[in-house]
Amino acid sequence: RFLPTIEAFFVVNASCTNDSGEDKKDSESLGGEANESRDGAKSGDAPKHKVEDDFDIDSLVGGRRLIQFVAANKVLLNALLRSNPALLEKGLRAMVQVPRCRPFLDFDVKRQWFKTQVRRLRQHASRRHGSLRLTIRRKHVFEDAFHRLRPRTADEMRGRLHITFVNEEGVDAGGLSREFFGILAKEMFNPNYALFTSTEDGCTFQPNPNSGINPDHLSYFRFVGRIVGKAVVDGFLLDAHFTRSLYKHMLGVKPTHHDMQAIDPDYYKNLKMILEHKLDDIGVDLTFSTEDHSFGRSHTIDLIENGRNVVVTETTKEKYVSLVCQHRMTTAIQSQIKAYLEGFHELVKPDLISIFTAKELELLISGMPEIDIDDLKKNTDYQGWKATDKEIDWFWNVMFSLSRSEKAAFLQFATGSSKVPLSGFAELQGMRGTQKFSIHKAGGSSGALMSAHTCFNALDLPVYKSEEEMKEKLLYAISEGGGGFLFA
């Protein structure tokens, strides 16, 4: 019964005061924002980044009222959109078109809207080009796919995929395609191709700044981008996890120095020390330059013009940290990112993918991880608690009772990542290297919310009166404090 009133509110307040601006927005057939940056759209451009605040909400009749209304009524709006997804293309389309409204959309609502858009593109491509049929040698999947797909247009790539393995009689009803993507997800990180390097935790990958040792590296990066885009469009999950900074590049969002933590924890710790302490106190002399060590050689790279001769001061150290992180996460791998984005955006346009956050994009590409609670329990230390305490028994009972998405959300809340190390929780990485998950007895009043220290993989667990109360507090903590991305 609220719907007509809500739609009327959106019509009035989300209308553009600038007629030409409204016309431009209406021309976006897939609900994309007119001012969205187009990463990799021009062959000569470096990756660009959008800033969501660039969208001027004052250009709307009631832009600020709209944001306040959406924030206050996000539960009701998401419930309406689940029951009637078409509203995102009709009366409530401002929820997608206005960037500041998007964070209030739940992940499953965004995903449903996205699937609807790409389904139309796939149907259009199938009518024009038919199916995409590939005959592949099982022992040469990566190379064969690279050469077979290289001449295909983006529209042809969107056709329904049919895989045939040479000298095998299997008919592809989805299983062979899934196997095909599974093999590619492993091979793209094969060190022999020199395309990606793993981060300190060994769980995530980013482009290799020295990939130029492979003469065809940019063509391969474009190919990998197309494969990731094809998997997303077709709904196949890839067992491939990239760094948060690369996901941000895919969304046109500029990485920050905090994204360095997952790439190189020790380096991030040093940067934090620079920001939080006086340079004289920690005894460092810095210039606006950085050292590159490649193939046994070292050379200095200026972060600004003549940077090696410009001293970093207290007033300029924030700029230094920003520039040195920009160099490692963007500038040093600029051509690799550009080629990868060109391939990805051929299949998935920026105005479609920009609805997601970096965490949500990782979920869209890789899905929820398998989390072995028995392995986590076996590799947990206790401080202030004993493994035999009834509260600890309650805790593990709660953990075993969680759904797959809730377990992933808990892991994100407690460790800062929803990914499981390849060798299990015994190799969980923290600020000090390998650092097991630990449960600390929290001080303060009984029944307080639990908290986490992600740098140390530590959970502060207060005293609770019952297992039911503990579960209630845990679910609240992971949904509100973990940047939640629960499936409905």
Residue 20 has pLDDT above 90, yes or no: no
Look at 54-58, 179-183, 448-452 and tell me which has the smallest mean pLDDT.
Answer: 54-58
pLDDT score recorded for residue 49: 54
pLDDT score recorded for residue 459: 93
Which residues are bridge partners to 458 per DSSP?
A: 438, 453
pLDDT above 90: percentage of residues in the chain: 49
Task: Look at 384 and 6; give whichever has higher pLDDT.
Answer: 384
Separation CA 7–CA 94 (nearest Å): 10
Query: Which DSSP letter does residue 110 get?
Result: H
DSSP symbols for 24-72: HHHT-TT---TT---TT-STTPPP--B-GGGS-GGGBTTHHHHHHHHHH
252: left (phi over 0), alpha (psi -120 to 50) or beta: left
Question: SS3 breakdown of the chain: % helix, strand, coil, rounded to 5?
Answer: 55, 10, 35
295: left (phi over 0), alpha (psi -120 to 50) or beta: left
**Considering just the CA atoms, what is the radius of gyration of the chain in Å?**
24
Q: What does the block give as tokens for 254? A: 């500029």
pLDDT above 70: percentage of residues in the chain: 85
Mean pLDDT, residues 230-235? 90
pLDDT score recorded for residue 25: 41
Question: What does pTM read for this prediction?
Answer: 0.73
**Where are any strands of DSSP class E within 421-466?**
429-430, 433-434, 437-441, 451-453, 458-461
Q: What does the block give as tokens for 464? A: 């609770």
CB atoms closer than 10 angstroms to residue 345: 23
Mean pLDDT, residues 282-299? 87
Residue 118 has pLDDT above 50, yes or no: yes
pLDDT score recorded for residue 432: 64
Residue 28 has pLDDT above 80, yes or no: no
pLDDT score recorded for residue 47: 56
- Amino acid occupying residue 123: Q
Mean pLDDT, residues 111-132? 86
**What contacts 19, CB < 8 A, 6 or more positions away?**
none
pLDDT score recorded for residue 168: 79
Provide φ and ψ at 50, rounded to 5°.
-85, 160
Q: What does the block give as tokens for 281? A: 């106190």
Residue 481 has pLDDT above 80, yes or no: no
Residue 470 has pLDDT above 90, yes or no: yes
Residue identified by tokens 């509260």 is: 391
pLDDT score recorded for residue 213: 93
Confidence band (pLDDT; 50, 70, 90) for 327?
very high
Among residues 56, 81, 64, 73, which one has the least CA distance to residue 13?
64
Rounded to whole angstroms, what are the CA distances from 124 to 133, 169, 343? 17, 30, 20
Instruction: Let me know: does 60 contact 67? Beta carbons within 8 Å.
Output: no
- Amino acid occupying residue 469: E
Task: Look at 365 and 30; give whichever has higher pLDDT.
Answer: 365
Residue 1 has pLDDT above 70, yes or no: no
Confidence band (pLDDT; 50, 70, 90) for 484?
very low
Residues in the chain: 488
Residue 33 has pLDDT above 70, yes or no: no
Any long-range contacts for 299-307 (C-beta under 8 Å, 24+ apart)? Answer: 301/327, 303/327
> Which of 96-105, 186-195, 334-343, 359-368 has maximum average pLDDT?
334-343
Residue 34 has pLDDT above 80, yes or no: no
What positions carry a catalytic annotation?
A: 455
pLDDT score recorded for residue 342: 96
Instruction: Let me know: does 106 contact 48? Beta carbons within 8 Å.
Output: no
Look at 119-123, 126-130, 172-176, 465-469 and tell me which has the smallest mean pLDDT.
Answer: 172-176
**Where are any strands of DSSP class E within 87-210?**
132-136, 161-165, 196-198, 205-207
pLDDT score recorded for residue 48: 54
pLDDT score recorded for residue 94: 87
* pLDDT 10s digits, 372-393: 899 999 999 999 999 999 999 9
Among residues 152, 140, 150, which one has the least CA distance to residue 184?
140
Average pLDDT, the chain: 84
Mean pLDDT, residues 138-164? 91
* pLDDT 10s digits, 407-452: 988 988 888 777 676 567 887 877 666 789 999 998 877 878 898 8
| 3-class DSSP assignment, residue 203 | coil
Separation CA 328–CA 263 (nearest Å): 10
